[in-house]
Amino acid sequence: MRLFEPIEQLEQKEELLRSRVNSLPETQKKEFYERQSKKHKDPDTYATLNWFFLGGFHHCYMGKYALFALELAVLIVSIIGLILGHSSAFLILVLLVIYELPQLFFSQKIARQHNYKLSCEIFNDVRRD
């Protein structure tokens, strides 16, 4: 994901893909939209998960289970460290928040980029069939 990709550039790529999909034969177009609707991730759901849960649940929503497990483990370890009075646990928690902030602020774009990537893969698969 490129967080600093201009939104206009992403919109242009999405529009180009839409025009390419519309040029497909009807059967392929129907298959594309059926497969896309099953895999499409809602940007608002991603943003909500990112906003309310600091454990990486938004990664789970996108299917990035390893990253989800890692962030959840870091969160749990830092909370346990705070309970036990380790001063470094607070630093770990702050670093986790700093890591999450860009993902929170760019959550809509991240979800759209994810959907665009999936749509391109589906388009290429449908075209090959």
**pLDDT tens-place string over residues 57-112:** 899 999 999 999 999 999 999 999 999 999 899 999 999 989 888 888 898 899 99
pLDDT tops 90 at residue 13: yes
Q: Is residue 92 part of a domain?
A: yes
Q: Which residues have C-beta within 8 Å of that of residue 77, sequence separation ≥ 6?
A: 89, 92
Q: Is residue 91 part of a domain?
A: yes
Q: Is residue 115 part of a domain?
A: yes
Q: Which of 7, 38, 31, 27 is nearest to 108 (CA)?
A: 7
Q: Is residue 126 part of a domain?
A: yes
The pTM (predicted TM-score) of the whole model is 0.83
HSE, side-chain direction, 13 A CA sphere, residue 97 = 9
Q: Is residue 93 part of a domain?
A: yes
Number of domains in the chain: 1
pLDDT tens profile 32-50: 999 999 999 998 899 888 8
Q: Is residue 122 part of a domain?
A: yes
Q: Is residue 10 part of a domain?
A: no
Domain around 71? 43-129
The tokens of 110 are what? 């991240």
Q: Is residue 24 part of a domain?
A: no
- pLDDT at position 1: 60
